Structure 1
């Protein structure tokens, strides 16, 4: 129980960073939105599952890679935290800039024509795995949750928890954005959401950069 209490704050912070990252639409989320709006709910859900599986793959690769790196070079934790903290501050800047902008989100149908459900699932996976920002994003998320000397189960809990959240939230995007009402509501709330996200990312980035463990 003491171990759980020790590592739980970091795990919850990693979950929070992941949740807010999904709330700030990137190429993956915008693709799910656009597909649901232009093609249909089923296709959007298939694409969402592909994105979620891709997110799980990145999480596993990041945890295994960082664990192996830290096992060999303990001092690498400082470099990882600097990279993660700097990326979170960059996300904060982007969120604040988006909050100040007047334009709405631009969710469009995927290029290349209509696909089968399996085709959309595969496309979602490819979108997530080829996103150049995904690696940095996961380094930041895992760095928030992993402390120096953290046991293997901490990384496993972060990976499994974020995968479950990813499936739920991406499917929710697919279902919600198949309706015009939700699209309008999100458009009206977008600037406030981005301001909240910017604040969290800034605080999380500073926390990571000033952390000693």
Structure 2
């Protein structure tokens, strides 16, 4: 029992590290908020699922040696930064294009088609897959929570705990920012909100290159 309990502080620290990183404002949070306000709760929820899935992907890869590989070949992180920068600039272009559009902005609350749901899901995956912050967060998590002799249940405890938090967190964002109050706000100030988000994506893109 004492041996089992000795692993819990590391597990808690790993989950807390992930939670703090997830709650810090970033492209994933902003994209989930935007999808929920503009396209409805289901869109935000599905995009959040993509973020959770890609986060689990990085977590599993980190457990199976990705951390060592990236530390040995730091140039790999540079390539991910470049792709991440390009993708964020693409998001900025799409968002800012809606600001200058002459068409009326509308908030959708309709059901998603399978094609649209897949698009939002892949969008969420791409945000995290091309985000070096997600990789470095998992390197820190593995270092904090997994001792070299840690049993397999510790691995599942760390990944399971972080994924449960991620699911609850992004689902909550999708719910909150698709409420009638937020929908009305977007309907009135959609161009201002899109303008802010577009500028944020540009900032995040160039912030990647500075690291």
* Aligned counterpart, 1:144: 144
Determine the C-alpha separation between the residues in 2 that align with 1:37 and 1:65.
38
1:164 equivalent in alignment to 2:168: no
User: What secondary structure, in the 3-state scheme, does the structure 1 residue paired with 2:6 have?
Assistant: helix
User: What secondary structure, in the 3-state scheme, does the structure 1 residue paired with 2:56 have?
Assistant: helix
Determine the C-alpha separation between the residues in 2 that align with 1:120 and 1:5.
40
CA contact (8 A) 1:34 1:110 kept: no
Determine the C-alpha separation between the residues in 2 that align with 1:110 and 1:172.
25
TM-score of the pair, normalised by structure 1: 0.61
The Cα of 1:180 is off from its aligned counterpart by: 6.7
TM-score of the pair, normalised by structure 2: 0.61
Once the two structures are superposed, residues 81-130 of structure 1 have per-residue CA deviations (whole angstroms, 9 ceiling, x without a partner) of xxxxxxxxxxxxxxxxxxxxxxxxxxx89659997112101111111111
The Cα of 1:147 is off from its aligned counterpart by: 2.4
The Cα of 1:151 is off from its aligned counterpart by: 2.1
The Cα of 1:174 is off from its aligned counterpart by: 0.8
Determine the C-alpha separation between the residues in 2 that align with 1:42 and 1:145.
33
Evaluate the alpha carbon distance shift between residue 7 and residue 34 of structure 1 in structure 2; reply closer, same or farther with a 3 A threshold. Answer: same
Determine the C-alpha separation between the residues in 1 that align with 2:93 and 2:181.
18
* Aligned counterpart, 1:4: 4
* Aligned counterpart, 2:63: 63
Evaluate the alpha carbon distance shift between residue 126 and residue 141 of structure 1 in structure 2; reply closer, same or farther with a 3 A threshold. Answer: same
The Cα of 1:3 is off from its aligned counterpart by: 2.2
The Cα of 1:45 is off from its aligned counterpart by: 0.6
Once the two structures are superposed, residues 151-170 of structure 1 have per-residue CA deviations (whole angstroms, 9 ceiling, x without a partner) of 22212211122112111111
The higher radius of gyration belongs to 2
The Cα of 1:139 is off from its aligned counterpart by: 0.5
Determine the C-alpha separation between the residues in 1 that align with 2:93 and 2:40.
10
* Aligned counterpart, 2:127: 127
Map residues 77-156 of structure 1 onto 2, 5 A cutoff. Answer: 111=95, 116-156=116-156
User: What secondary structure, in the 3-state scheme, does the structure 2 residue paired with 1:133 have?
Assistant: helix
The Cα of 1:61 is off from its aligned counterpart by: 0.6
User: What secondary structure, in the 3-state scheme, does the structure 1 residue paired with 2:178 have?
Assistant: coil
For structure 2, the 5+ residue unaligned runs are 73-91, 99-111, 186-211
Determine the C-alpha separation between the residues in 2 that align with 1:66 and 1:109.
32
User: What secondary structure, in the 3-state scheme, does the structure 2 residue paired with 1:178 have?
Assistant: coil
The Cα of 1:181 is off from its aligned counterpart by: 5.2
User: What secondary structure, in the 3-state scheme, does the structure 2 residue paired with 1:116 have?
Assistant: helix
CA contact (8 A) 2:37 2:182 kept: no
* Aligned counterpart, 1:99: none
Evaluate the alpha carbon distance shift between residue 8 and residue 179 of structure 1 in structure 2; reply closer, same or farther with a 3 A threshold. Answer: same
Root mean square deviation of aligned Cα: 3.3
